[in-house]
Amino acid sequence: MAEEGNANNGNRRNLLLLMVSRSTRSFAAGFIAVVIGLYYTNRLGLSLTLVGIIFGAGALATPILTLFTGRMADLYGRKSLLLLSLLLLPGSLAIVLVSTYFPLLVVSAAMGGFGIAGGLVGGGVGAIAAPMQTALLAEKTSSGNRTRVFSIFTIISTLSGSTGALLSNIHSYHTLFYLALIISLVSAIAILPVHEDFKRPEHSEVARREKTAKTSRNRKIISMFSATGTLNGASQGLIIPFLPIILRLTFNMSNGQIGDLFSVGGFLTAAATTLTPYATKKIGFVRLIMATRTFSTVFLVVFPFAPGILAASLFYIVFTALRAMSLPSQQALMMTLVDEEYRASATGVNQTARLLPAAGATAASGSVQDYLGILIPFELASAISFFNVFVYYRFFWKMPAAGSSQDTST
């Protein structure tokens, strides 16, 4: 009993440290996600086509790095790879602070993940850290409380990003970049005391036979999530990285107004996410994911037809809140279906499947908006998102673990 109590205390301490790391990084991401595109267009005078190339570089490099670090984390440990990934964001901000040379801006975006699909939804930039964070969270939780813990982390991450977005009212881009650099360094430092219960995979003949038996089942599950991730990434990549620019150019909103909107949207998203464990317990993983993504896509369809700032703001808030509401369930479902030794790899593959098409969509969307307007990317993104809901139905509807909830917490 004493050992069990010590283990629980250790898990709580590790979860707290992971929470500090995630919240500080999300706080920095909250205002970087708002101002980075505006910095490129307003301060540097870059066209949307060039911004699309920069964002596309970030969206392309992130899944490649994620796939590598996710696999390496399962083989050699999650903590060290997480620390390395967390240090890339302050490094990328240092480049932005010292140079306006276009190729270096592309390198910076690749390091920091600027422009990755998701924006404030789920905690902002830096998706390369997700496989290690998710695997460590799964290690410190059980199936009985996993959805609740993932929901709490999503809520705190969203609240941190929303609070950070308020700093967009600061007019100095360089002041914001310095703040983000310092805060993102704190995020990395917070990981240092985290204890990891990592065991290197065994290489005996028995272990190899057991691994072979597991591989086929895990590969099938990972491929299912990868397919849905591909569609999700293509949909979001067309729109999300450009939202601050669209709000500025189409609705004439100031940097501060955009930051305030993202902040309000984030707070309401966090409020909606508090319902995720309850909703998952009542209707199951897959029904919650399908319902929230269907209704969020409806608001995405009508966004470009908004008659003014108030309507556009409402559509944005509802879209982001509903979409984010399903994220903890999706993460918990994947961690429940995938065996422990495949978790970081599964998250890495899923992120790669999401972000690679997002990179292409983002790079193309800038030119489309430059020459054809914003309507086509929005409606194409909506069509892809509706199809993604159908794919969730085909893959997971009849799967018992997906149709019910594994969260038995109260």
pLDDT at 176: 94
pLDDT digit string (tens) for 343-379?
777 777 877 788 788 878 887 887 888 878 778 888 8
pLDDT at 29: 86
Asked if residues 82 and 191 have their Cβ atoms less than 8 Å apart, the reply is yes
Tell me what percent of the residues of the chain surpass a pLDDT of 70.
87
pLDDT at 404: 59
DSSP structural state of residue 305 = G
Indicate the range of 47-61, 182-196, 226-240, 394-408 predicted with least confidence.
Answer: 394-408
CA distances from 36 to 31, 103, 173, 302 (A): 8, 16, 8, 26
pLDDT at 211: 59
pLDDT at 213: 58
Asked if residues 172 and 256 have their Cβ atoms less than 8 Å apart, the reply is no
Q: What is the mean pLDDT of residues 186-211?
A: 70
pLDDT at 21: 92
- Dist CA 200 CA 196 (whole Å): 12
Instruction: Say whether pLDDT at 286 is over 70.
Output: yes
- Which has the closest alpha carbon to 244: 165, 180, 164? 165
Confidence bin at 403 (pLDDT 50/70/90): low
pLDDT at 159: 82
Q: What would the two tokens of residue 112 be?
A: 């920091």
Confidence bin at 181 (pLDDT 50/70/90): very high
Instruction: Say whether pLDDT at 54 is over 50.
Output: yes
Asked if residues 63 and 356 have their Cβ atoms less than 8 Å apart, the reply is yes
pTM: 0.66
Q: How many CB atoms lie within 10 A of CB 264?
A: 16
- Dist CA 90 CA 21 (whole Å): 13
Q: What is the mean pLDDT of residues 383-395?
A: 90
Top-confidence residue, 232 or 200: 232
pLDDT at 111: 87
* Phi, psi dihedrals of residue 118, rounded to the nearest 5°: 135, -40
Most confident by average pLDDT, 132-141, 215-224, 295-304: 295-304
- Dist CA 248 CA 140 (whole Å): 42
- Which has the closest alpha carbon to 16: 140, 159, 142, 138? 140
Confidence bin at 324 (pLDDT 50/70/90): confident
Q: What would the two tokens of residue 277 be?
A: 């464990």
Strands (E), 154-222: none
Domains of the chain listed by start with CATH number: 2-190+203-403 (1.20.1250.20)
- Three-state SS at 196: coil
Asked if residues 268 and 262 have their Cβ atoms less than 8 Å apart, the reply is no
Quote the radius of gyration of the chain (alpha carbons, Å): 20
pLDDT at 208: 56
What residue has token string 């050992």? 3
Confidence bin at 198 (pLDDT 50/70/90): low
Q: C-alpha dihedral over 235, 261, 317, 383, to 10 degrees?
A: -20
Most confident by average pLDDT, 5-9, 118-122, 366-370: 366-370
Instruction: Say whether pLDDT at 24 is over 70.
Output: yes
Q: What is the mean pLDDT of residues 262-287?
A: 81
- Three-state SS at 62: helix
pLDDT digit string (tens) for 59-102?
778 777 877 777 777 777 788 888 988 998 899 999 999 999 99
Cβ partners under 8 Å of residue 89, min gap 6: 25, 28, 111, 112, 113, 125, 126, 180, 184, 187
* Phi, psi dihedrals of residue 124, rounded to the nearest 5°: 85, -160
pLDDT at 115: 63
- Which has the closest alpha carbon to 134: 177, 209, 81? 81
- Which has the closest alpha carbon to 67: 349, 356, 343? 349
- Find the helix packing angle between 285-302 and 327-337, rounded to 10°: 140
- Three-state SS at 144: coil
pLDDT at 212: 60
Q: What is the mean pLDDT of residues 326-341?
A: 78
- Which has the closest alpha carbon to 37: 357, 362, 300, 261? 362
Q: What is the mean pLDDT of residues 301-317?
A: 89
Q: How many CB atoms lie within 10 A of CB 181?
A: 18
Top-confidence residue, 62 or 185: 185
Q: What is the mean pLDDT of residues 105-113?
A: 88
Q: What would the two tokens of residue 290 be?
A: 């399908």
